[in-house]
Structure 1
Amino acid sequence: MAAPVHGTASSAALTLASKPAPIAASRPPSDINATALAAPDAAGVVDPRRAFLLRDVFASNVTRRLKVPAAEQRAYSDRLETALEADTLGSLSGEYVVLVDRNANVQALLIYFRAVPADAWQMIGASPVATGRPGEFDHFITPLGVFEHTPANMDFRSEGTQNENHIRGYGKRDMRIFDLGWAQGERGWGKGGVSQMRFQMHSTDPDRLEPLLGIRHSKGCVRMPASLDAFLDHYGILDAEYATLIDSGKSLWVLKSDRQITPWAGRYIVVVDSARKSRPAWAPAPGGKARAKVPAGADTAD
């Protein structure tokens, strides 16, 4: 169902400090003035072009980034628009959208924004991910389509515990798991076919599995860098519907008190397959050293 186009956020969702808090302890905070970012002009309108200031924040705080050439950014903009139009969301604007290319030769997540429907989608930043790898039991191929991030499937946070293979499948403690609910996924084992899978987007074991981002390696979910997870969480990139609940007076434990949601929070994750036959230089695969650190059974993690 199409969501209303929006370019402002309510006071409850915009309790912002003068400077963003650090997203990753090893990285300095951006020098962006978050209060100014959300401040309306004399007419009471928040300039949607300020949404692009988050490019600098992304570059400062997300430690695993991809340098996507301008021509490729435009190509993914076209793919995003095509996918949204197919889902009756062709006029969507004024909010961030997350795009994932599940192609085995790419494995990338890109954040896009456009101010109005007449504009082209423009990239905010990109990072390597890992999507579903077929070939073993209970491993799905990450489904294609447009998925809505909604509190109907409430997010939760990682406990940071290890499984029997000493893998923290959801990453270190307190990382956010973005839950997209049940989806129809193509089974990557046996005779194939389609069945339901729980579709999530989350960080992964920082020592063993995060270095493997860039190749298919999950059971169907989208694994992402911890610093990207924290960026999405801290700035509410996908939290439009969570902000609506906060405005209605709800208290949500999963949302941190120091978060700084922007006026352009979105709600959609779009998964495409670019059908590439070879790996582009801007999306390198992990090297042999990273692969050598993976213990037996690591693929049992989500």
Structure 2
Amino acid sequence: MLTPEEAAEETRGALDMRKRFARDVNRRLHVPLTDQRAYGQRLQAALDEKDLGALAGEFVILVDRSANVQALFIYFRAMPDEPWLMIGASPVATGRPGEFDHFLTPLGVFEHTPLNMDFRAEGTMNQNNIRGYGRRDMRIYDLGWVDGERGWGKGGYSQMRFQMHATDPDRLEPLLGIRHSKGCVRIPATLNAFIDHNGIIDAEYQALVDSGKSLWVLHSDREITPWAGRFIVVVDSERKTRPAWSPAPGGKARAKVPAGADTAD
């Protein structure tokens, strides 16, 4: 158990990541403090449901899949009795229902573990001339097989491979902010690199490295944070209107979308 002085020092250190986020991530959302607190409470409620309510001392990624939000937040707290504090937020794209093989992005708490080993994008084009995983070397955060809610036919649930990854930088990244994937979470390339370089959710990967394992998926120049975490949490705020701090992409971005763009996942 940390002393109050130690907890304050941990918080100051972790909150320095806000400066790196502002410097390194080019797609940022300026979330009002009231909403930052509200999402911190949503995060806590989701953790409570999984008996993880005492989680502290590590970064956690939170995603709101609401059609009117489509955002990712990074949170931290030093002690279980403290409120969650936001490090930064960015627009994302989650699962768009309505077509075959399109899932709603699953809700819940997902552990990022080497049991479902990450990999890196090859940067190649698919049949629709889209780089579905983004530029070469972008990291794909693999969360394994999960039960996904089908967004076609009569609904129900099927197994889907749940991942978080970058997307085509020219054609699809400008569309972040609306539902547009087959079920995965698409994120900006600079956010992908930020999470990767700082090891934001790499606690279990680092444990393997500390035990003497060599993992090709980890870059040798990474600077893993002392507060590396393990969890990605997905919620749905079900907001009825879009908040001003999470604008939808404009008409120019939508007009440039090629056929088959939503089949890239």
TM-score bin (small chain): over 0.9
1:84 aligns with 2:82: no
Rounded to whole Å, the distance in 1 between the matches of 2:211 and 2:121 is 27
Rounded to whole Å, the distance in 2 between the matches of 1:243 and 1:48 is 19
The one-letter code of the counterpart of 1:161 is T
1:63 aligns with 2:48: no
1:48 aligns with 2:10: yes
The one-letter code of the counterpart of 2:210 is D
TM superposition shift of 1:118:
1.2
TM superposition shift of 1:297:
1.0
The one-letter code of the counterpart of 2:19 is D
Rounded to whole Å, the distance in 2 between the matches of 1:296 and 1:253 is 35
Rounded to whole Å, the distance in 2 between the matches of 1:254 and 1:243 is 12
Rounded to whole Å, the distance in 2 between the matches of 1:204 and 1:55 is 24
TM superposition shift of 1:46:
10
Aligned pair partner of 2:218 in 255, 262, 265: 255
What is the DSSP-based 3-state SS (H/G/I as helix, E as strand, rest coil) of the residue aligned with 2:29?
coil
How well do the aligned residues superpose, as a CA RMSD in angstroms? Answer: 1.6
Rounded to whole Å, the distance in 2 between the matches of 1:290 and 1:67 is 21
Aligned pair partner of 2:203 in 240, 245, 254: 240
What is the DSSP-based 3-state SS (H/G/I as helix, E as strand, rest coil) of the residue aligned with 1:100?
strand
TM superposition score normalised by structure 1: 0.85
What is the DSSP-based 3-state SS (H/G/I as helix, E as strand, rest coil) of the residue aligned with 2:262?
helix
Aligned pair partner of 1:284 in 247, 250, 262: 247
What is the DSSP-based 3-state SS (H/G/I as helix, E as strand, rest coil) of the residue aligned with 1:279?
coil
TM superposition shift of 1:47:
3.5
TM superposition score normalised by structure 2: 0.97
Q: What does the per-residue CA deviation read over 1:232-257, in whole Å, with 9 as the maximum and x for residues that have no partner? A: 00000000000000011100000000
Aligned pair partner of 1:202 in 162, 165, 182: 165
Q: What does the per-residue CA deviation read over 1:94-144, in whole Å, with 9 as the maximum and x for residues that have no partner? A: 000000000000000000000011110000000000000001111000000
Q: What does the per-residue CA deviation read over 1:185-239, in whole Å, with 9 as the maximum and x for residues that have no partner? A: 0000111110110000000000000000000000000000000000000000000
What is the DSSP-based 3-state SS (H/G/I as helix, E as strand, rest coil) of the residue aligned with 1:73?
helix
What is the DSSP-based 3-state SS (H/G/I as helix, E as strand, rest coil) of the residue aligned with 2:16?
helix
Q: What does the per-residue CA deviation read over 1:7-31, in whole Å, with 9 as the maximum and x for residues that have no partner? A: xxxxxxxxxxxxxxxxxxxxxxxxx
Aligned pair partner of 1:165 in 128, 137, 151: 128
Aligned pair partner of 1:94 in 34, 57, 66: 57
**Structure 1: where are the runs of 5+ without partners?**
7-40
1:265 aligns with 2:228: yes
The 5 Å alignment of 1:173-184 reads 173-184=136-147
**Structure 2: where are the runs of 5+ without partners?**
none
Corresponding residue of 2:97: 134
Corresponding residue of 2:152: 189
